[in-house]
């Protein structure tokens, strides 16, 4: 599969943004990570303090065969039900994207349900969910590549319409199991270190989930140095879709805000597949899911928020849009020492 080339960060614009930050009426560095965020965005976009008004969360939806093993307290039927809730504007992601004045694109890349043609739903189904990875690879290579292409295509279509800021979100019962398996491989950790409660497992359920992931990794034996082998054997169609969105965003110099564990697992795979992707990533928040901080550390990213959010859907990323606006507004609108007639340091 051919991937696009990831451009270099614009170091000249980044340097100019840093100099402009130092000229503002505040002690140097006193706005903390908001300063660093605005400088990073300048390097990504090649623009100082862009407004980034055209923004969207790409919410990829798919089902997982591993749910047959009882890894979630919710049945697989919840996936299409939640997709309908998104389309009816009743979910957390709908509330937060309205607040942040952003769109949410719901993409059926692998839900085990035939949706009619509905407003707001992008139907790009690759398969009716993954196989049960305890007994066989989750996807064929063709399916994984097709799902990556879906993600790349929907991002590029939005970019052609003027998209300036993107985020990834997901819906798929069982996808924290797939993401924990991916995290264990990418971060060289034991399943017990990176597996969380997902949608609310009790202690017994968590132990069962860890045990199943251990069995999956033993049975499938993915190559930890081969991101496509990992994705095919223990991944998900929505994870592959988000991987494609992430790659295409970086190729188009569009900042990509990661959400929680699942979104970040997709971003980590994207960076392994196409080096340089990480330069266009922003960590929206830190999820309490056990493996998330390991993935962020591996990417060299520090989360903007830590609110113990774990609903997924892209909610942490959408909430972080507001901080991105704040960072750019400070750089764009704040007076300089010269314009305000204030003495700067000697």
Report the catalytic residues. Answer: 313
237 contacts 139 by C-beta, under 8 angstroms: yes
What 8-state DSSP symbol labels residue 117? -
Contacts of 115 (CB under 8 A, 6+ apart): 80, 83, 108, 121, 123
Where are the strands (E) in 265-322, listed by range? Answer: 281-283
Angle at 263 between CA 107 and CA 327, to 5 degrees: 105
The pair phi, psi for residue 62, each rounded to 5°, is -165, 160
Please give the Cα distance from 21 to 23 (Å, whole number).
5
Greatest alpha-carbon span in the chain? 71
Please give the Cα distance from 265 to 293 (Å, whole number).
11
């Amino acid at each position: 599969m051919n991937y696009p080339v990831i451009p270099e960060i614009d170091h000249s614009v980044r340097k100019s943004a840093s100099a402009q930050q130092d000229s503002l009426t505040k002690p140097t560095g006193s706005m903390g990570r908001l300063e660093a965020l605005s400088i990073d965005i300048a390097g990504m976009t090649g623009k100082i303090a862009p407004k980034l008004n055209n923004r969207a969360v790409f919410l990829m939806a798919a089902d997982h065969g591993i749910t047959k093993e009882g890894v979630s307290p919710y049945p697989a039927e919840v996936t299409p039900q939640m997709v309908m809730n998104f389309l009816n504007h009743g979910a957390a992601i709908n509330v937060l994207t309205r607040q942040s004045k952003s769109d949410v694109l719901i993409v059926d890349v692998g839900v085990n349900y035939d949706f009619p043609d509905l407003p707001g739903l992008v139907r790009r189904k690759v398969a009716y969910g993954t196989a049960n990875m305890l007994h066989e690879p989750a996807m064929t290579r063709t399916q994984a590549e097709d799902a990556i292409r879906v993600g790349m295509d929907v991002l590029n279509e939005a970019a052609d319409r003027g998209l300036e800021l993107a985020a990834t979100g997901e819906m798929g019962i069982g996808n924290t199991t797939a993401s924990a398996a991916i995290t264990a491989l990418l971060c060289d950790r034991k399943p017990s270190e990176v597996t969380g409660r997902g949608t609310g497992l009790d202690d017994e359920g968590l132990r069962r989930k860890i045990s199943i992931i251990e069995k999956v990794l033993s049975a499938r034996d993915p190559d930890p140095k081969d991101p496509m082998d990992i994705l095919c054997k223990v991944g998900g169609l929505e994870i592959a879709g988000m991987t494609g969105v992430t790659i295409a965003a970086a190729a188009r110099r569009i900042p990509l805000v990661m959400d929680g564990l699942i979104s970040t697992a997709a971003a980590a795979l994207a960076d392994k597949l196409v080096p340089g992707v990480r330069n266009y990533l922003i960590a929206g928040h830190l999820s309490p899911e056990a493996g998330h901080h390991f993935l962020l550390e591996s990417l060299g990213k520090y989360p903007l928020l830590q609110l113990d959010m774990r609903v997924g859907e892209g909610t942490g990323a959408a909430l972080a849009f507001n901080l991105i606006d704040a960072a750019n507004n400070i750089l764009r609108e704040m007076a300089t020492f010269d314009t305000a007639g204030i003495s700067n340091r000697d």
